[in-house]
């Protein structure tokens, strides 16, 4: 059953997205990792530009022509890599080569400015940071080792100093410069690994949130499509509706009405448990099962057991449906009603202005037992009386102190109403509940108001 739901959901998502016309998946401009390639390329280009405009950094023993040949080659290398990144070429496989070439270029710059025993040795920290950013801890330590080898080789290749001077430079290089470089490599590698792990977790969380949002959008679209666009108009009866969808979860509120040939009308309000797409996928089942049973059997005491048997076979064990169903006969001063675990309806009596809480009859929700009996109540319903069906989103509304409205609070609200029509009462009561509720709308809210008119 779950697999079938997943397949159905995967088929419905593209269809609903196509219907809305604006739910395309965003296309990335470039892979996220290429951002670091671009930053490194820009910094490398800036460094080469500084060297080119400041030829005095070259020592007197290096011919200007050779210096500019090296700098020109470096500039060409920077330009090619920057253009490749700009054209969205994935350079992940070339990163080790880039890092090695960058280290060699830095070695040439540092060596010919006397920086191996001066402050420019700190430029190698850049290669360590890049190694950590691209390859983690192993890349940082490897970059530090390669930079140290390059520095040692540049000192040993110098012919203008004695062996004793070369040995002293090597000692100065290793202590403390190389030690600090490796220490920075370990620290940068650890930070890079931690950042990558946090990024992976954030990406996974974002994927879950995106999937949940897609399910929310699809479920809300399904609910909108399943609910009847209009309800039948029957002389002597008014029906008013106000509904909203939850802001933080996916609900399963449903309402419907069926007109009969003799002028009576059957009205239901239901709530499908399971705040998810599978819960929404049951709404069409509830809708058409109710319409078939109501049109064929009409009477609440017959419709409810038949409907309960159908839903028991189709619903998974963890899901159930609550419902209240009433048949209003305008030529009689009463209604017949059954309730399957739904919120107790409220009746506003026109002659006295009192509000009655209709806790009877009681009955179990659909989906728990295959064969359930439902008692029927015959309730007086005279001209200008109002009957209010509602879902638990109304009585579970929280005020600023965290107190639920509950059935008693909703009844007190209804007692203060002075409606002119069923829709007027639905609108007024909906506004009062919205004013009472503070914070996010945690659940669906549906109000179905029935009025017995004199005509």
pLDDT (mean) for 428-445: 89
CATH architecture under which domain 229-452 falls: 4-Layer Sandwich (3.60)
Q: What is the pLDDT of residue 29?
A: 37
Contact 291, 257 (CB under 8 A): no
Q: What is the pLDDT of residues 123-150, one digit of tens each?
A: 888 888 888 888 888 999 999 999 888 8
Burial class (CB in 10 A: 0-12, 13-18, 19+), 210: exposed
Residue 350 clears pLDDT 60, i.e. is over it: yes
pLDDT (mean) for 60-68: 56
Residue 66 clears pLDDT 80, i.e. is over it: no
Q: What is the pLDDT of residue 366?
A: 95
Least confident of 151-165, 224-238, 267-281, 325-339: 151-165
Q: pLDDT confidence of 406, banded at 50, 70, 90? A: very high
pLDDT (mean) for 86-104: 75
Q: What is the pLDDT of residue 273?
A: 82
Directed axis angle between helix 179-226 and helix 124-156, to 10°?
150
pLDDT (mean) for 55-64: 49
Q: What is the pLDDT of residue 35?
A: 67
Q: What is the pLDDT of residue 20?
A: 41
CA distance 441 to 248: 7
Nearest to 407 by CA among 348, 351, 338, 356: 356
φ/ψ of 416, rounded to 5, equals -90, 0
Least confident of 7-21, 41-55, 251-265, 357-371: 7-21
Q: Which residue has the higher pLDDT, 118 or 338?
A: 338
Q: What is the pLDDT of residues 359-402, one digit of tens each?
A: 999 999 999 988 899 999 999 999 999 999 999 999 999 999 99
Least confident of 187-201, 299-313, 323-337: 187-201
Residue 50 clears pLDDT 80, i.e. is over it: no
Cis peptide bond upstream of 26, omega within 30? no
Q: What is the pLDDT of residue 133?
A: 84
Q: Which residue has the higher pLDDT, 99 or 261?
A: 261
Q: What is the pLDDT of residue 91?
A: 60
pLDDT (mean) for 2-22: 40
Supply the Cα-derived Rg of the chain in whole angstroms.
38
Q: How many CA atoms lie within 13 A of 283 on its CB side?
A: 28
Q: What is the pLDDT of residues 144-196, one digit of tens each?
A: 999 888 888 877 776 566 667 667 767 766 777 888 888 999 998 899 888 88
CA distance 445 to 454: 29
Q: Tell me the DSSP string of 59-75.
A: -TTS-HHHHHHHHHHHH
Helix, strand, coil abundance in the chain, percent, nearest 5: 55, 15, 30
Domain ranges of the chain: 29-206, 229-452
């Amino acid at each position: 059953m779950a697999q079938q739901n997943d397949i159905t959901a995967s088929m419905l998502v593209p269809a609903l997205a196509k219907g809305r016309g604006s739910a395309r998946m965003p296309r990335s401009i470039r892979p996220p990792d290429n951002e670091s390639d671009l930053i490194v390329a820009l910094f490398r280009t800036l460094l080469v530009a500084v060297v080119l405009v400041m030829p005095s950094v070259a020592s007197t023993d290096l011919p200007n022509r050779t210096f500019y040949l090296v700098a020109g080659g470096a500039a060409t290398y920077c330009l090619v890599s920057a253009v490749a990144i700009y054209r969205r070429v994935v350079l992940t496989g070339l990163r080790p080569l880039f890092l090695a070439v960058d280290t060699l270029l830095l070695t040439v710059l540092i060596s010919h400015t006397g920086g191996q025993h001066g402050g420019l040795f700190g430029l190698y920290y850049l290669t360590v940071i890049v190694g950590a950013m691209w390859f983690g801890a192993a890349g940082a330590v490897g970059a530090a080792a390669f930079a140290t080898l390059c520095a040692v080789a540049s000192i040993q290749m110098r012919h203008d100093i004695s062996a004793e001077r070369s040995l002293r430079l090597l000692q100065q290089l290793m202590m403390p410069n190389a030690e600090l470089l490796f220490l920075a490599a370990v620290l940068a590698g650890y930070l890079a690994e931690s950042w990558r792990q946090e990024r992976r977790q954030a990406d996974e969380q974002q994927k879950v949130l995106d999937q949940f949002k897609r399910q929310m959008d699809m479920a809300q679209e399904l609910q909108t499509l399943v609910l009847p666009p209009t309800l039948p108009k029957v002389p002597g009866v008014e029906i008013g509706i106000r509904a909203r969808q939850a802001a933080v979860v996916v609900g399963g509120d449903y309402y419907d009405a069926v007109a009969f040939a003799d002028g009576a009308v059957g009205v239901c309000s239901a709530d499908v448990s399971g705040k998810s797409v599978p819960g929404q996928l049951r709404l069409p089942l509830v809708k058409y099962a109710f319409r078939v049973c109501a049109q064929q059997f009409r009477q609440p005491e017959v419709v409810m057991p038949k409907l309960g048997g159908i839903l028991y076979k189709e619903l998974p064990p963890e899901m159930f449906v609550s419902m209240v169903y009433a048949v209003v006969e305008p030529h009689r001063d009463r209604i017949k009603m059954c309730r399957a675990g739904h919120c107790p309806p409220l009746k506003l009596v026109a002659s006295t202005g009192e509000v009655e809480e209709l806790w009877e009859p009681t009955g179990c929700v659909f989906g728990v037992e295959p064969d359930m009996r439902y008692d029927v109540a015959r309730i007086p319903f005279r001209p200008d009386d109002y009957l209010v069906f509602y879902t638990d989103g109304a009585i579970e509304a929280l005020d600023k102190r965290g107190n639920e409205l509950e059935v008693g609070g909703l009844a007190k609200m209804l007692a203060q109403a002075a409606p002119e029509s069923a829709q007027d009462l639905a609108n007024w009561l909906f506004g009062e509940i919205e004013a009472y509720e503070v914070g996010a709308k945690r659940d669906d809210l549906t109000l179905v108001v029935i009025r017995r008119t004199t005509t």
